[in-house]
């Protein structure tokens, strides 16, 4: 009896395993018309909408640049809303002074955005909150309870808000062509009213935002409240000094 060598049995590999192996060792195709918001390399869209491109470019900016652009848009919109409300109160056709809105937007771009990004950063505010908490037991208890955002708001309201409001009034007066003496008079007359109103408005907004608004919607809520505040700030800034003195006297 002769021994014959039998051929080795053939092993059939499933097609899906072959496809997976081919995908594993092959280079993924490069998307030519994709967007940075997609998670895959091949974007199923044939082209990105301008809104997606704008959001993507905004997210890729540095925090200080993103804050400057956001403040510029919010303050421009707030000034335009203030002008529209003033026209309706005076029963006049709505007309927007573009130069005035541009000046207010420039303040947001060059002052409020960088100021809020640098002065309101976690490092500076954290040091200030820790020092105040060490001296004030009430602030320390608030931090321990998880209300550190509210504590930062209160500390910023006392330390940063007066200086920022003074700079806004001074900057706006200089942009309008007033002299330094007139600009200082504007600050002297209008700062107490703005500080008193802001000391009530912003702590209330921050506490309500921290307690009732979900975390993913807090930035949007603060921006909406910032539009209202910018509208009021534009109204006080554009008011003549005579009206401010009469309101203070009454």
Containing H/E element for 245? helix 241-249
pLDDT at 159: 82
Q: How many CB atoms lie within 10 A of CB 53?
A: 14
Q: Directed axis angle between helix 122-135 and helix 137-144, to 10°?
A: 130
The pLDDT, as a whole number, for residue 203 is 87
| Residue 27 covered by a domain | no
**Per-residue confidence in pLDDT tens, the chain, 250 aa:** 444 445 555 555 455 554 444 444 444 444 444 444 444 444 444 455 555 565 556 556 778 888 889 999 999 999 999 999 999 998 899 999 999 999 999 999 999 888 877 776 545 556 655 655 555 555 455 444 445 666 777 777 888 899 999 999 999 999 999 999 999 999 999 999 999 999 999 988 888 888 888 888 888 898 999 999 999 999 999 988 776 666 666 5
Nearest 5°: the CA angle 64, 117, 98 is 70
In a domain, 88, yes or no: yes
Inside any domain, residue 42:
no
Which DSSP state fits 216? G
DSSP label at residue 217:
G
What whole-number distance in Å separates Cα of residue 198 and Cα of residue 205? 10
Query: If you ran DSSP here, which 8-state letter would residue 33 be given?
Result: S
Domain with 104, as residue range(s), is 63-120+160-249
- Give the number of domains in the chain: 1
**pLDDT, position 153:** 74
Within-domain flag for 18: no
Domain membership flag for residue 192: yes
Distance, CA of 162 to CA of 178 (rounded, Å): 21
Per the domain annotation, does 7 fall within a domain?
Answer: no
In a domain, 215, yes or no: yes
Residue found by looking up tokens 């702590």 in the block:
203
Q: Is residue 203 part of a domain?
A: yes
pLDDT of residue 30: 45
Q: Compute, in degrees rounded to 10, the torsion defined by CA atoms 115, 117, 118, 123.
A: 140
Helix runs in 108-217, H state only: 113-119, 122-135, 137-144, 148-159, 161-175, 180-212
Q: What is the pTM of this model?
A: 0.67
Among 33, 43, 35, 106, which residue's Cα sits nearest to residue 76?
106
HSE, side-chain direction, 13 A CA sphere, residue 81: 15
How many Å apart are CA 13 and CA 34, to the nearest integer?
Answer: 35
């Amino acid at each position: 009896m002769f021994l014959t060598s039998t051929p080795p049995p053939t092993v059939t590999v499933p097609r899906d395993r072959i496809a997976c192996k081919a995908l594993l060792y092959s280079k993924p195709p490069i998307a030519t018309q994709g967007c940075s918001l997609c998670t895959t390399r091949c974007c199923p869209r044939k082209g990105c909408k301008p809104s997606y491109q704008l959001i993507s470019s905004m997210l890729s900016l540095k925090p200080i640049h993103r804050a400057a652009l956001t403040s510029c848009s919010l303050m421009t919109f707030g000034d335009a809303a203030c002008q529209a409300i003033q026209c309706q109160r005076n029963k006049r056709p709505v007309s927007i002074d573009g130069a005035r809105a541009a000046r207010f937007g420039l303040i947001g771009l060059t002052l409020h955005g960088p100021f809020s990004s640098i002065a309101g950063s976690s490092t500076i505010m954290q040091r200030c909150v820790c020092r105040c908490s060490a001296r004030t037991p009430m602030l320390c208890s608030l931090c321990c309870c998880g209300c550190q955002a509210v504590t930062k708001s209160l500390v910023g309201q006392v330390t940063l808000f007066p200086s920022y409001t003074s700079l806004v009034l001074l900057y706006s007066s200089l942009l309008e062509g007033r002299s330094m003496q007139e600009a200082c008079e504007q600050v002297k007359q209008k700062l107490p009213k703005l500080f008193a109103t802001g000391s009530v408005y912003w702590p209330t907004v921050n506490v309500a935002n921290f307690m009732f608004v979900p975390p993913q919607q807090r930035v949007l809520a603060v921006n909406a409240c910032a539009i209202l505040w910018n509208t009021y700030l534009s109204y006080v800034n554009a008011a003549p000094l005579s009206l401010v003195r009469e309101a203070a006297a009454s």
